Chains A and B, each alone.
Chain A
């Protein structure tokens, strides 16, 4: 996202514009406000040009006529001041550190870390800057990668290191840093046919132990649940710069569908930067609703929360293709969900010997082994 990086001055000016909107209104005798796009599934739309989902035109006005919104405005000012300080002093802080620092902000204090994360995103959206510009780091874990891929990463001392994700790493793989832009990470070379993103650590370890990366000539990336921005960004770069297809292997439940959507179509929370994070050509490999019956997988009943989530997906613009409607309806009809590891019912090698080869042939026309 190098091209989007702002200079210090640009960033500070953009932040001041937010404070300026509040101040201007107060000078006119009006309650201060901040204007933001609505950040929910009701306000994301497919962008034909970018091939991803972006925020639509719906705006929400956060003005100081309710206590909650007034708190938000004051917090935004505190955060702005804090960011300015960091930009000046060339320091950076994690989102969590900012949350703790807010303890000293009196009425501007955050109630939870979720609030501080959301506000950082709000400011990204209204200023058009990225949190990297604000010198804010996530403390979320980046993903782990194993496979025959070679990166060049600039370390803390500013030296470039060459790392092969098969030969130069241990069993836990290569840890993806939070900044994966070209100033920090370069994609050198690879010898893989596709990249497989895996939802759970247990399955990632199973595939590593079974040597699936070499067997199938692929890279394995562990998503750790809902993938972090850097994880999505690195997949996007692998896909774009190397032309390597991305396949996604998750549990069969409503939350897994959302993980895939955030990789392929763009996440609702980060729709302002979908074009940098989403990989539109990513393929959902499984586990599909139909697999629960086709493979007679051990399954659990859908909980009421699961059912709610599936119903919500039916009105999510990202799931309006026939394939997704069928997936969701079938899961609702079965009333069941299944974990990746339920494949172990047929032995530890079943996933690598049978299930994945079948799926890869079916979805990508790839023949393994």
Chain B
């Protein structure tokens, strides 16, 4: 036998278990503390993915028990679709199952070794089998089976397989669901609390999965409860179903392309390109092949190394539209806000979901959330919550692109402390960063830190700037509100007492206070209050304009409200008009000196806490304390964007009816990108100083 063959043979003989032993550091099982986090993560990620595919609102219970000898028993239970009896061995017994070669989309499961790793780890460290209890809706009984791994042949060995009647399923699962999955395993592991713990992992998971209810219970050796957590869903809205897309030529690498060429069923390179790639029309395909000087009729598998190289260069040389971005599943601004609010008690939350964009043929989208104030500790660094495709990243914070983007921003103008204007800022805040992408690039196999990427970095910065500006204007509003509250106290409480006390002490007449009040205030004030009416499920916003100047005033008051699908204005105290999306205006004629005018309106279709503060703007001369002048340029811009967007939507509708060729669809997408680009950043409305 020659040397090369001997080596190859030897390599084959390395068993899966040896592979696991050698690589457990990047599989997430390197320490006993981390092993339990990884195990929970694999199980919970699978549950969330399965529920999402099955369009089920997830209910996930995690129970951990400390056993003798440094072991833990881990039980995870979900109400997902369950796994059919015949597939159980496959799902739990094979490493790296179902590598989605042709299907590109955003899934959580991309990121780990899979649940098989958990079965393997349990088996290697304690010799235990893993028990799976699965119930699928179409069957009247559940199935229970113990699983072990045949590490030589990379397959699962089943034992004690049995059918379980429905009542027993209900009892064991502790759920009323007719479908679900329960996994029980015993492993060498250690439960610890802190920043890197199962508790923190589930807390973070619940933030980015506001549609999930997650419970955690950790029990000590004597049955005492060591740790507990419960995160109840704050929305019944499931994440948008993700669409699978084909690869985009811009994201291609040599090896991948070579493999695709070898495996394709297409007979010639032209159809290979149009069928296997996104955004490659017959015309584009022709252009690519022309540029690469490859005959359209060539068999894909027949391309030489040079031919593949030429094809790759042609991909970059020929103009190809960006891939579609509906394969991404952002959490969306309102839901991030809900998620953050369910996990962190704060005064203020701002979130920004940027429009999807593309880097090297991979669609990606960034989302940022910032919470501020309340019970958050003000002395330390802000908590950084990192997520990739809705999966929490808990290790290697310093080396991660998401952290670097936060550190690259000077937060001081926005009201957070930061030594030297860089680094993770300090203050009573938490910053959430989510990167959704079909292909998240990590710095290492451990998949804990996102690798550097200029386009992602730039998008992150834009989103962070936007939440920063939001925080800044929030703080300004709070400051102004305090100032006007002080003035109101002064004229309503203190001044009348000074008047009555001095006149009674001196035995003189009481002075008329109104001219004094006008002199003290000498301004127009705006007070805004948004409250929640639980009975009618309405958010009610009241805007009061006080004229404490010597002459009558007239204004148009404009309020920002969360206009959207199913979210509408139910009542208003005076007839208003729509200015543009999310902006409503009311005309206030002649508020006389010393008088107040009030506008109230209620908004339906929101949940409690969705909307706590209305930004109020005005048109008219002078200043109003607590209210900013509307920037007409930006409003004009918004109106234009809105009409453009409407046009695009009409056009898209038309396209759906007429199956227009690809090129045109792409054109529409480009417009639509521009329109969405405006999304979320309302702080841009605020006029900076006088022009």
- How far does the alpha carbon of A34 sit from the alpha carbon of B56 in the complex, in Å? 71
- B494: which of A29, A64, A81 is its contact (CB, 8 Å)? A64
Cα A26 to Cα B513 in complex, Å, equals 7
A30:B519 contact, CB within 8 angstroms: yes
Residue B498 contacts which of A29, A30, A67, A74 (CB distance < 8 angstroms)?
A: A74
Q: How far is the CA of A27 from the CA of B513 in the complex (A)?
A: 9
| Residue from the set B493, B501, B503 with the largest chain A CB neighbour count within 10 Å | B501
Q: Is A112 in contact with chain B by the CB < 8 A criterion? A: no
> B520–A64 contact, CB under 8 A?
yes
In the complex, whether B293 has a CB less than 8 A from a CB of chain A is: no
Bound-state Cα–Cα, A16 to B507, Å: 11
Contact code string B390-415 (vs A, CB < 8 Å = 1, else 0): 00000000000000000000000000
Q: Which residues of B contact A27 (CB under 8 A)?
A: 508-509, 511
Q: Known interface pairs A23-B506, A29-B519, A64-B494. Does A74 touch B489 (Cβ–Cβ under 8 Å)?
A: no
Which chain B residues lie closer than 8 Å to A16 at the CB level?
505-506
The answer to whether B495 touches A107, judged by C-beta atoms less than 8 angstroms apart, is no
CB distance B497 to A66 under 8 Å?
no
The chain A residue with its CB closest to the CB of B512 is A29
Q: A67–B490 contact, CB under 8 A? A: yes
Residues of A within 8 A of B512 (CB): 29
Q: How far is the CB of B61 from chain A (nearest CB, A)?
A: 52
Closest B residue to A81 by beta carbon equals B505
**Shortest CB–CB separation between residue A76 and chain B, in angstroms?**
9
Selected contact of A32 from candidates B486, B493, B502, B508, CB within 8 Å: B502
Q: Is the CB of A26 within 8 A of B502?
A: yes
Task: Using known A-B contacts A23-B508, A80-B505, determine if residue A31 contacts B497 with beta carbons closer than 8 Å.
Answer: no
Say yes or no: B505 contacts A70, CB within 8 Å: no
Of listed B487, B511, B512, residue having the most chain A CB within 10 A: B511
Q: Which of B464-510 contact A (CB under 8 A)?
A: 486-487, 489-490, 493-495, 497-499, 501-503, 505-506, 508-509
In the complex the two chains form, is A66's CB within 8 Å of B490's CB?
Answer: yes
Contact A22/B490 with A29-B519, A30-B519, A31-B520 known, Cβ cut-off 8 Å: no
Are B501 and A30 within 8 A (Cβ)?
A: no
- Docked-complex contact A20 and B497, CB < 8 angstroms: no
Q: A26-B511, A71-B494 are in contact. Are A19 and B502 (CB under 8 A)?
A: yes
By beta carbon, the residue of chain A nearest B494 is A70
Return the CB mask of A68-81 against B: 1 if under 8 Å, else 0.
Answer: 00110110011011
Instruction: Decide if A108 touches B497 in the complex (CB within 8 Å).
Output: yes
Contacts of B520 in A (CB 8 A): 31, 64-65
Residues of B close to A65: CB separation below 8 A: 519-520
What is the CA–CA distance of A22 and B515 in the complex, to the nearest angstrom?
15
Residue of A with least CB distance to B518: A29
User: Are A30 and B516 in contact, with the CB atoms below 8 A?
Assistant: yes
Check A104 for interface membership: any CB of B closer than 8 A: no
Once the chains are docked, how many angstroms separate the CA of A70 from the CA of B490? 7
Could you say which residues of chain A place their CB within 8 Å of the CB of B494?
64, 67, 70-71, 73-74, 107
For residues 6 through 57 of chain A, which have their beta carbon under 8 Å from a beta carbon of chain B? Answer: 16, 19-20, 22-23, 26-27, 29-32
Min distance, Cβ A134 to any Cβ of chain B, angstroms: 15
Complex contact A29–B516 (CB within 8 A): yes
Q: Mark B523-546, 1 if CB is under 8 A from A, else 0.
A: 000000000000000000000000
Q: How large is the interface on B (under 10, 10 to 19, 20 to 34, 35 or more residues)?
A: 20 to 34
Contact A26/B489 with A64-B498, A74-B498 known, Cβ cut-off 8 Å: no
- Is A365 engaged at the interface, CB distance under 8 Å to the other chain? no
A22 with B519: in contact, given A64-B495, A67-B486, A67-B494 (CB under 8 Å)?
no
Does A158 count as interface, using CB distance less than 8 angstroms? no
Q: Which residues in chain B, 47-89, are within 8 Å of chain A measured between CB atoms?
A: none
- A119 vs chain B, min Cβ distance (A): 15
With both beta carbons as reference points, the residue of chain B lying nearest to A63 in the complex is identified as B520
Q: Is the interface of A mostly helix, strand, loop or mixed?
A: helix
CB neighbours of B487 from chain A (8 A): 67
Shortest C-beta distance, B299 to chain A (Å), equals 80
Minimum CB–CB distance from B279 to chain A (whole Å) comes to 63
A106 touches B (CB below 8 Å): yes
Which residue on B lies nearest to A80, using beta carbons?
Answer: B505
Contact in complex: A22, B502 (CB < 8 Å) = yes
How far does the Cβ of A35 sit from chain B's closest Cβ, in whole Å?
16
Measured CB to CB, the nearest residue on chain A to B501 is A77
Return chain B residues, CB-CB under 8 Å to A19.
Answer: 501-502, 505-506
| Cα A23 to Cα B501 with chains together (Å) | 10
Q: How far is the CA of A358 from the CA of B497 in the complex (A)?
A: 63
A183 nearest CB across to chain B (Å): 30
Contact A70 B506, CB 8 Å, known A64-B490, A78-B501: no
B502 to nearest A CB, angstroms?
Answer: 4
Instruction: Return A276 CB to nearest CB of chain B, in Å.
Output: 30
The reply to whether A74 and B497 form a contact with Cβ atoms under 8 Å apart is yes
How far, in Å, is B525 (CB) from chain A's closest CB?
A: 14
**Minimum distance in angstroms from A218 CB to a CB of chain B:** 51
What residues of chain A lie closer than 8 Å to B502, measured between beta carbons? Answer: 19-20, 22-23, 26, 32, 77
- Asked whether A67 lies within 8 Å of B489 as measured between CB atoms, the reply is yes
Known: A67-B487, A71-B494, A77-B498. A23 touches B519 (CB 8 A): no
Contact A26 B505 (CB under 8 A): no
B497's partner among A23, A30, A67, A106 (CB-CB below 8 A) is: A106
Contact A29 B503 (CB under 8 A): no
In the bound assembly, the distance between CA atoms of A70 and B502 in angstroms comes to 13
Closest partner residue, chain A, to B485 (CB atom)? A67
Q: Which of chain B's residues has its CB closest to A73's CB?
A: B498
Complex alpha-carbon distance, A65 and B503, angstroms: 20
Cα A22 to Cα B493 in complex, Å, equals 16
Chain A residues in 8 Å Cβ range of B486:
66-67
Closest to B510 in A: A26
Chain B residues within an 8 Å CB radius of A67: 486-487, 489-490, 494
> How far does the alpha carbon of A108 sit from the alpha carbon of B493 in the complex, in Å?
10
Contacts of A29 in B (CB 8 A): 511-512, 515-516, 519
Contacts of A71 in B (CB 8 A): 494
B510 CB to closest chain A CB (Å) equals 9
Contacts of A77 in B (CB 8 A): 497-498, 501-502, 505
The CA of A108 and the CA of B502, in the complex, are separated in Å by: 13
CB A24 to nearest CB in B, in angstroms, measures 9
Measured between alpha carbons, how far is A64 from B519 in the docked complex, in Å? 10
Nearest opposing residue in chain B for A26, CB measure: B511
Residue in B487, B499, B503, B520 with the greatest tally of chain A CB atoms within 10 Å: B520
Contacts of B489 in A (CB 8 A): 67
Please name all residues of chain B whose beta carbon is closer than 8 Å to the beta carbon of A31 when the two chains form the complex: 516, 519-520
Contacts of B506 in A (CB 8 A): 16, 19-20, 23
Residues of B within 8 A of A23 (CB): 502-503, 506, 508, 511
**Complex Cα distance A23/B495, Å?**
11
Whether the pair A81, B490 counts as a contact (CB closer than 8 A) is no
Q: What residues on A are CB-neighbors of B503 within 8 Å?
A: 23
- Chain B residues with Cβ below 8 Å from A107 are 493-494, 497
Q: Considering the chains assembled together, what is the distance between the CA atoms of A19 and B494 in angstroms?
A: 15
Determine which of A26, A66, A78, A106 lies in contact with B516 in the assembled complex, contact meaning CB atoms within 8 Å: A26
Having A23-B508, A70-B490, one finds 12 other A-B pairs with CB under 8 Å, namely: A16-B506, A19-B501, A20-B502, A23-B511, A26-B511, A27-B509, A64-B498, A66-B490, A67-B494, A73-B494, A74-B497, A80-B505
- A-B pairs with the 8 shortest C-beta distances? A29-B515, A26-B511, A67-B486, A70-B494, A23-B502, A77-B501, A19-B502, A67-B490
Q: List 5 A-B contacts (CB under 8 A).
A: A16-B506, A20-B502, A32-B499, A64-B516, A65-B519
